[in-house]
A and B are shown apart, each in its own frame.
Chain A
Amino acid sequence: MNLEELNATATSERLARTKKRHHLYVCVGTACQALNSEQIAKALQAELKQRGQAADAEVKCVGCPGLCSLGPLVEIESQVNGQAAAAEAKDDRRRSILYQFVKPEDAGEIVAHLDGEPVKRLETPLDQPFFTRQTKIVLEHCGKIDPERIEDYIAVGGYQALLKVLTEMTPQQVIDEITRSGLRGRGGAGFPTGLKWGTVAKSDPNAYPTHVPEGIQSRKFVICNGDEGDPGAFMDRSVMEGDPHRILEGMAIAAYAVGANQGFIYVRAEYPLAVKRLRTAIRQAQRAGLLGSGIGGTAFSFNVDIRLGAGAFVCGEETALIASIEGGRGVPRPRPPFPAESGLWGCPTLINNVETLANVPPIIMKGADWFAGIGTEKSKGTKVFALTGQVKNTGLIEVPMGISLREIVFDIGGGISGGRQFKAVQTGGPSGGCIPAQFLDMPVDYESLAKVGSIMGSGGMIVMDDSTDMVEVARFFMEFCMDESCGKCIPCRAGTVQMHRILTRIQEGRATRRDLHILEELCDMVKHTSLCGLGQSAPNPVISTLRYFREEYERKVNGEQKPEVRIQKPESRSQNPEARSQRPAISS
């Protein structure tokens, strides 16, 4: 497909859309799908047919619109006064309604009310802060397009950036544009993306010994890191499920910029839906000539393969991820040499996170200045967060960098659920920290989060209320790191075990002040001597809770607080329905 053909497809697709007066978007992301949303789509379709409105309205299965706690969600976009459904949200000739907690049996009522008043009992306002306070770049198409149709992506401008790059820009110009945009890696560490691309582009594939398997021609590689392992994080999953072509487009642009002809998407096997949609997307893009050889009629060739993770958190670390793609144990190796110089099979390799790559096509289309105009001085653009925990609105949000935690938790998130008080926000998963109330007005960007002892991380944001036991939070994350340690380096392998034992002892009321001292000493050592990011950041949850909630540790060490009573028998619990709220697992 060349640019003309792409434009033709986009035009005809848009035209076809204007012929339908109603567009019914049913979320089929993992969370809504688990609540039977596919049945809802079928029921709506059947209902439209039965009422003879099938020609007039269209049901679309789409990716996650974000507000998972109200799912299954159905959004209806209708034309008013017979005008074409405009793309501009402000256009008053178009009406949008969002229905929450939809069940398949609601289909009849929804269809009956397409032209009249909305179904009041299902409606949830679209002008609530959850939606209005967000800025969508990465998620702009999630919830609007059918992720299993390439035409849908093309209709909203998809693959335009790739063809623009291939026909109008040199690789160096692409790298310069990304550099100027200020885009930084969204996987957690925030390394400048343009700098990384530039290094891979410059690297000589023969500088280090290589061992590329037979049948693979490329001597540079692009890897999309979709091994979203942080518990409580599902940003990348939603993008892969809701807008898979965007990732392929971002990868192809990156590949052109660095001179790679082969790419890999490394996805957790725990995300079967994402894998399926990516596979479909790759097939479609190949058929359309937007992947494969001679893309868009140019000389550029680029293929993408999917590789499945198999349940190892450490494989999110880039050298471990490479070892895993090579078919081995996911064990990291010391850097340097960095993968940009010697990565997959010894070749220069670019590894970018899903969200990072998803930012690339809009930067190319709208320009570096547009992107650099969003966010703060050092953190540009937006960040997608998975907002979960004890907050009213849980789900997926995208906010400009620099927004305050307070806005996220209290405006977008709607505040603490269950009428309790805010205690902390945990960001960065097992590598991050807990941020207490005193920093609620702090801007969310890479530097500020690091300053208060947490990290941006990949985007998990877990809100904790005042019933949360912070020592237990630290113990939970330490157990996670201990189980996920690959075992290669001693500080991480043996240090996490010892730290976990001390934390458990504190929880059981058996710890002394000496234990607390040894714990702090271990935290420092493991942080500074471990081989990879997993070990280097494993102490962070302990360090940050010690920093802000030290009195909770002290109370337990001094024996002022009785150790937590462990789980009750289910029989007694069922007799006493109150028991659960009195003793949630992590809360005291």
Chain B
Amino acid sequence: MTRTPTTPGLLTGNDAVTATSTDRLVSDKRYKIIEATMRRYGYQGHGLIEALHSAQEAFGYLDDFTLKHIARTLHLPPSKVFGVATFYNLFTLKPQGAHTCVVCLGTACYIKGAREVLAAIEDEYDVKAGGTTRDNQLSLLTARCFGSCALAPVITFDGETIGKVAPTAAAQQIAQRLAAVQQAR
């Protein structure tokens, strides 16, 4: 993880607000969304998880700069913010690929062959669950249950649910969608 020595205040031992950090907060409009979330909770600590959700949605992951920004705005110790961000599965500190495929490993999917589906995708894209392909195009994640058990085994591609996936067809179904979004661009 890279650490940005640009944040002000105690967090870096630097009392002056540096030009770069202010710039980033102003120029990157996505911080406005996070700001709105924190305002909704009166900038109080109990809004931390909602703020992290906002940031994760806006940036796709939580970097140090954003976590420190949230800590400072909510007046929380940085260690607590980091502790919360790493406790929950949905938050990630690493940048994700352009597209995300999630394989459900819930019980119903599992007994209907989800492990094989996962293995097939891992093999095809040479990526382990939790990782991102070398070209940064696809992140492969696993989930504990989407609650779409009737469609087991289930995977999602960029939020779209694909049900009753055969291990033999999984990689192809992803390839089709990847090709489609790339073509659309």
Contacts and interface: CB of A to CB of B under 8 A. Distances in A.
**Touching chains A and B, CB distance < 8 Å:** yes
Given A232-B108, A270-B146, A311 B167 contact: no
Given A270-B143, A327-B46, A329-B83, A312 B89 contact: yes
A577 B167 CA distance: 10
Contacts of A580: 113, 116, 166-168
A307 interface: yes
B174 interface: no
Given A228-B147, A234-B148, A270-B147, A573 B80 contact: no
Given A310-B88, A327-B48, 6 more contacts: A215-B44, A229-B145, A233-B147, A329-B87, A330-B88, A585-B115
Contacts of A234: 145, 147-149
B124 interface: yes
Counting from the closest, the 9 A-B pairs by CB-CB distance are: A68-B150, A311-B89, A234-B147, A34-B161, A231-B106, A310-B88, A585-B115, A232-B107, A327-B48
A69 B152 CA distance: 10
A429 B107 contact: yes
Interface string A544-588: 000000000000000000000001011001100100100111110
A494 to B, nearest CB: 18
A182 interface: no
A68 B167 CA distance: 22
B49 A585 contact: no
B54 to A, nearest CB: 10
Contacts of A300: none
B120 interface: yes
A327 B113 CA distance: 37
A456 interface: no
Interface string A517-560: 00000000000000000000000000000000000000000000
B131 interface: no
A570 B151 contact: no
A327 B116 contact: no
Contacts of B124: 570
A30 interface: yes
Given A232-B145, A310-B91, A585-B113, A460 B107 contact: yes
9 contacts: A232-B107, A307-B49, A310-B89, A325-B46, A328-B84, A394-B152, A570-B124, A584-B113, A587-B111
Interface of B: 41-42, 44-50, 52-53, 80, 83-84, 87-91, 105-108, 110-116, 119-120, 123-124, 143-152, 154, 159-163, 166-168, 171
Interface stretch (A8-16, A116-124, A383-391): A383-391
Most chain A C-beta atoms within 10 Å of own C-beta, residue among B91, B112, B163: B112
Contacts of A587: 111
Given A231-B107, A426-B107, A476-B107, A585 B114 contact: yes
A30 B53 contact: no
Given A229-B144, A269-B53, A313-B144, A327 B45 contact: yes
A310 B90 contact: yes
Nearest to B104: A231
A53 interface: no
A306 to B, nearest CB: 9
Nearest to B111: A586
Contacts of A390: 111
B111 A462 contact: yes
Nearest to A585: B115
A357 to B, nearest CB: 18
B49 A310 contact: yes
Interface in A312-335: 312-313, 324-331
A271 interface: yes
B129 to A, nearest CB: 12
Given A310-B88, A584-B112, A586-B111, A326 B147 contact: no
A312 B90 CA distance: 8
A213 B115 contact: no
Contacts of B119: 567, 570
A416 interface: no
A69 B168 contact: no
Q: Of A31, A229, A460, which is in contact with the most chain B CB atoms at under 10 Å from its CB?
A: A31
A114 interface: no
A11 to B, nearest CB: 36
A388 B149 contact: yes
Contacts of B47: 327
Given A232-B108, A330-B87, A586-B111, A30 B149 contact: no
Contact of B84 (A213, A327, A386, A586): A327
Contacts of B144: 229, 231, 311, 313, 480, 484
A308 interface: yes
Nearest to B169: A574
Nearest to B40: A305
Of A31, A35, A476, A585, most buried by chain B (CB within 10 Å of CB) is A585
A21 interface: no
B116 A567 contact: yes
